[in-house]
Amino acid sequence: MTERLTPAGLDRAAALLRDGALVAFPTETVYGLGADARNARAVAGIFGAKGRPHFNPLICHYPEAEAAFAEVRADDRARRLAAWFWPGPLTLVLPRRPDCRVDLLAGAGLDTLAVRVPAHPTALALLRAAGVPVAAPSANRSGQVSPTTAEHVLAGLGGRIAAVLDDGPCAVGVESTVLDLTGAGPVLLRPGGVPVEAIEAELGPVGRALPLSAAAATASLRSPGMLLSHYAPGLPVRLGATAVAPDEALLAFGPALPGAAVTWNLSEEGDLREAASRLFAGLRWLDEEGTARGCPGIAAMPVPETGLGAAINDRLTRAAAPR
């Protein structure tokens, strides 16, 4: 059962978030499906509850700019935009700081992180009470439209999440504008609640990633180059391993094959949610350990193609692709 909370239940919602549960909450744009962004299992739970087929990177929500800028490196442009538009429907993509607490899965393994300070008073109160960065995509099943009421949320996610914090319909109703500030010039990744003209008035010309169509922008974001270039292991990856050589590094799923030089188990119990939450960290760790031990490569055991397994296999396939 999904608890339906009113703003009077805000402390309960915050406690659930801190406990690693999934809580939908209103923002000025759409209802978000929130999870503690530091908690790998909670973040993996977002992908599971939504049935999101790919690990698209998630936006992290903060109660004020300084909290966001403790996790990402903000340049002068970011600070100016934050002063103008936050709280509000603008998401900034910025480089992660080395000590960023946000789980790798929340950022889909990228070296960048999307951050925003929403303008909804209940969202801000929740973020303050929770005291943790909150990763939140729109609170809908994958492939459905974004929810702007608690009823929409329950229609799609009822029974799949711990609670929804109901504070009526969302004011903006379209998602935030996503602006990439990691390059020399700002680039619009998604038009949204803050018109690009308003951003250009502050920053000057903004590049458009979108005339190619939203589909193309999404495709480029999901492309191996963009998604994997930052975390693809240096060591070659061998898929579908049913035996392992003594000098190989092993990415295990379920009972581990015996005899590897070094092993990272995604989930001894064969739990796909746990496996998803440990995938990016495991690839990085095996790459480091395997390289240090002179392993020629990483052998990956088969993962079932169901549920989150499809996303895990998608990423493993990209990691194993020739480059």
CA distance 189 to 110: 15
CA dihedral angle for residue 167, residue 173, residue 175, residue 176, rounded to 10 degrees: -80
Quick check: 148 binds ligand TXA (CB under 6 A)?
no
Residue whose structure tokens are 């929740």: 126
Nearer to ligand TXA, 107 or 282 (CB): 107
Stretch that binds Mg ion, among 3-11, 13-21, 134-142, 162-170 (CB under 5 A): 134-142
Binding residue for Mg ion, selected from 2, 138, 267, 277, defined by CB under 5 A: 138
CA distance 140 to 148: 10
Q: How many CB atoms lie within 10 A of CB 321?
A: 11
Q: Least distance in Å: CB of 162 to ligand TXA?
A: 17
Residue 205 buriedness (CB in 10 A; 0-12 / 13-18 / 19+): exposed
Q: What's the angle, vertex CA 59, arms to CA 235 and CA 85, rounded to 5?
A: 135
19-58: which residues touch ligand TXA (CB under 6 A)? 27, 29-30, 32, 56-58
Residue 63 preceded by cis peptide, ω within 30: no
Binding residue for ligand TXA, selected from 13, 187, 189, 252, defined by CB under 6 A: 189
Element (H, E) at 151: helix 150-157
Nearer to Mg ion, 41 or 190 (CB): 190
Q: How many CB atoms lie within 10 A of CB 64?
A: 14
Cα 242 from chain centroid (whole Å): 31
DSSP secondary structure letter of residue 72: B
Stretch that binds Mg ion, among 83-91, 106-114, 137-145, 198-206 (CB under 5 A): 137-145
Nearer to Mg ion, 129 or 171 (CB): 171
Nearer to ligand TXA, 39 or 176 (CB): 176
Q: How many residues bind ligand TXA (CB under 6 A)?
A: 26
H helices of 39-132, where? 40-50, 65-69, 76-85, 121-130
Q: Least distance in Å: CB of 28 to Mg ion?
A: 15
Contact track, ligand TXA, 193-232, x by CB under 6 A? ----------------------------x-----------
Residues in the chain: 323
Q: Least distance in Å: CB of 232 to Mg ion?
A: 26
Contact track, ligand TXA, 244-283, x by CB under 6 A? ----------------------------------------
Which residues of this protein are in contact with Mg ion, per CB under 5 A? 138
Which residues of this protein are in contact with ligand TXA, per CB under 6 A? 27, 29-30, 32, 56-59, 89, 91, 93, 107, 110, 112-114, 118, 136-138, 175-176, 178, 189-190, 221
